[in-house]
Amino acid sequence: MIEVKNLVKKYGDHVAVDHLTFTVEKGQIYGFLGPNGAGKSTTMNIMTGYIGATEGEVLIDGHDILKDAQEAKKCIGYLPEIPPVYPDMTVEEYLHFSAQLKGVKKSEQEAQIERVMKMTEVEDVAGRLIKNLSKGYRQRVGLAHAIMGFPPIIILDEPTVGLDPKQIIEIRQLIRELSKEHTIILSSHILSEISEICDYVMIIAHGKLIASDTTQNLTKMMQGQNIYNFLVKGEKDQVRQALEQIGGIEKIDINPYREENIVDVTVECSVEPAHDGRDVSADEESVKTTRRDYREEIFYALAHAECPMMASAKYVSLEDIFLELTEETDAQNINKKEKRRFLLKRPKAEEVQDNGSDL
Ligand SMILES: Nc1ncnc2c1ncn2[C@@H]1O[C@H](COP(=O)(O)OP(=O)(O)OP(=O)(O)O)[C@@H](O)[C@H]1O
């Protein structure tokens, strides 16, 4: 549906977008996640034809956004970071203007404006001047403009920024609703937002795509690192002894916790396939799904040593991935951390077998 190929945007010497390549498939919610200044808005502005690229190509349903802009733009509704609303128009006037601009048939305009106003809940302020609206309502009007004409792709740049918690929940609900019939791309620097709404995450830092996968897979693949963290009641040595009984644990880190007689434990386990007889070399999917899960073994080893687990073993979260990956690029050090390369290019089965720890 959208193909972005080798996209580069330079502002003078500054490279804001650095050879971005990705594809967006129909009917999913995609999230651009990245810290401030990562290049999210610039990428969205290029994808929607607001600004040109220095290099590269964007195809929207096969139409080049620069060479065949009119056709390409018909497929897209865009809410930029600052909604392009006219402050001296009333909401209703603006939405009439929007419907005309988007080429909605005259006979369908009234019905569509009504529907869009209902969806974005701006009916109450229909007669008010946009300049007198609160930030939340202005955002909704911008969103109403983006969905007017019901284009197949809706692109939203930081759609919930500046909204209060209630408004955030409402906008998220609307995005979910829209995703039933539209492909949605949204950007955010807030991880919880992306992981809550999006099916697919693209992590961007310094204009580069540094990770790209389903929200679920990103978390799952990070689990491949097999790092567990949990609280245990017991003496440090006793806990260590119990954990050392488990084959495959490579590193045990035990620290005091704020409660007496409880320790904070982090264990790093070797990455190896589960021993369930499945052929892990068959394909990448099976490698991911058959990775050995140590949680049960840890639980029973500790129980046997009479050191009860006080807080469950948890994997490293998507938040950790995001922070770690963006910090890596901050240090211009992404290549050094080869063990993360699966995030962009999954390892072949033979690599997994030769050197499982690479994962
Ligand atoms: N018109 C411009 N002229 C010069 N530099 C720009 C321009 N627009 C953006 N930049 C720079 O390009 C980089 C990417 O900016 P961009 O706005 O795309 O990031 P972003 O990920 O959307 O960040 P934010 O979440 O803060 O909006 C930043 O370093 C920014 O300062």
Neighbouring CB atoms inside 10 A of 257's CB total 16
Classify residue 231 as left (phi > 0), alpha (psi -120 to 50) or beta. Answer: beta
Which two tokens mark 211?
A: 């990770």
Q: Is 162 in the pocket of ligand 1 (CB under 6 A)?
A: no
Q: Is 159 in the pocket of ligand 1 (CB under 6 A)?
A: no
CATH code for the domain defined by 224-272+290-329: 3.30.70.100
For a substitution probing ligand 1, which of 7, 13, 18, 40 has the most ligand atoms within 8 Å of its CB? Answer: 40
pTM, rounded to two decimals: 0.69
Q: Which of 111, 197, 118, 93 is nearest to 149 (CA)?
A: 111
Query: Cα–Cα distances in Å, from 283 out to 213, 267, 276, 351?
Result: 17, 28, 16, 12
Kindly state the DSSP code that residue 316 receives in the 8-state scheme.
Answer: P
Neighbouring CB atoms inside 10 A of 297's CB total 17
The whole-angstrom separation of Cα 358 and Cα 347 is: 9
Nearest atom in ligand 1 to 81's CA: 27
How far apart are the CA of 196 and the centre of ligand 1, in A?
25
User: Domain 2-214, what architecture?
Assistant: 3-Layer(aba) Sandwich (3.40)
Q: How do residues 176-205 score in pLDDT, each as one tens digit?
A: 989 988 999 999 888 778 888 899 999 888
Q: How do residues 321-337 score in pLDDT, each as one tens digit?
A: 666 666 655 544 434 33
CB 224 within 8 A of CB 218: no
Could you tell me what percent of the chain has a pLDDT over 70? 79
Neighbouring CB atoms inside 10 A of 155's CB total 26
Nearest atom in ligand 1 to 45's CA: 18
Whose C-alpha lies nearest to ligand 1, atom 31? Answer: 37
- Please determine, for residue 109, whether its predicted confidence score (pLDDT) is greater than 70: yes
Residues of the chain with CATH 3.30.70.100: 224-272+290-329
pLDDT band, residue 113 (cuts 50/70/90) = very high
The three-state secondary structure class of 211 is strand
Query: Cα–Cα distances in Å, from 345 out to 6, 71, 213, 359?
Result: 16, 33, 10, 11
Neighbouring CB atoms inside 10 A of 40's CB total 26
The whole-angstrom separation of Cα 354 and Cα 13 is: 42
Q: Is 224 in the pocket of ligand 1 (CB under 6 A)?
A: no
- Please determine, for residue 302, whether its predicted confidence score (pLDDT) is greater than 70: yes
CB 201 within 8 A of CB 215: yes
User: Secondary structure of 183-211 in the HEC alphabet?
Assistant: EEEEEECCHHHHHHHCCEEEEEECCEEEE
How far apart are the CA of 39 and the centre of ligand 1, in A?
6
For a substitution probing ligand 1, which of 13, 14, 158, 194 has the most ligand atoms within 8 Å of its CB? Answer: 14
The whole-angstrom separation of Cα 9 and Cα 204 is: 14
Residues of the chain with CATH 3.40.50.300: 2-214
For a substitution probing ligand 1, which of 42, 43, 208, 329 has the most ligand atoms within 8 Å of its CB? Answer: 42
